[in-house]
Amino acid sequence: MPIVLISESLLRRSTVMDGRLLRDRVLCGFCVRMNARRRTFKVATSVAGQQFRLTLGYWPLMSVEEARSRALEVLRECRAGRRPAKPVAMVLPTLREALQVYCTTKGIKASSQKRYDSIFRTHFGDWLDGSVVDLGSQGFAEHCHAFAKTRGSALVEVGRGIVSALIKYVNAVHGLFTWVCNGCPPPCNCESG
């Protein structure tokens, strides 16, 4: 198990794809598993003499800095002799922040990002400053259903596409939801659900 400085550039340029575990030189216990299809951030340490492993997330959905800070929180618990039963609670972004990060991460063109911002401001304005957890609420499902029934088909397709993509992204990064139906939270009442 090589000991390296885990960084964005290392993960971007590395050709290692054999499932090797790279340990971090800065934070003992923080590591990344290098598979062909994904890079997985992990904590690998011991608690009270027993091995402990915890998956933190996947790169590039989670940055190295974010993974290292989460690992530090988990390792503090381990060093105190407490075995973390679940991942450390994270601060969830607002819908506005999640949309901004999504567009930046996915490399969305400025013109498309401007259109998405306009759609969210105009049609989902009440939800923009709420937590992304609100995407799973009954109220949001009803709002999506009303949006789909009262707007033109082109606007509904773009709206469904961006809401669905944003829910999938939030789920991948934060692990909040296990469902997605064209952007409609359950119970889904849209034609495709």
pLDDT of residue 117: 92
Q: Do 39 and 104 fall into the same domain?
A: no
> Which SS3 state, helix, strand or coil, does residue 43 take?
strand
pLDDT of residue 87: 53
Q: Do 47 and 109 fall into the same domain?
A: no
CATH number of the domain encompassing residue 53 = 3.30.160.390
Residue 71 is part of which domain span? 3-79
> 50-77 burial string, b = 16+ CB within 10 Å, else e?
eebebebbbbeebebebbbebbeebbeb
pLDDT of residue 193: 38
pLDDT of residue 3: 75
Number of domains, the chain: 2
Point out the residues of the chain with pLDDT beneath 70: 1-2, 85-90, 175-193
Q: Describe the strand order of the beta sheet including 18-24 as a list of residue ranges.
A: 3-4, 18-24, 30-35, 39-47, 50-59
pLDDT of residue 91: 73
- Rounded CA-CA distance 191/193 in Å is 6
Q: Do 119 and 70 fall into the same domain?
A: no
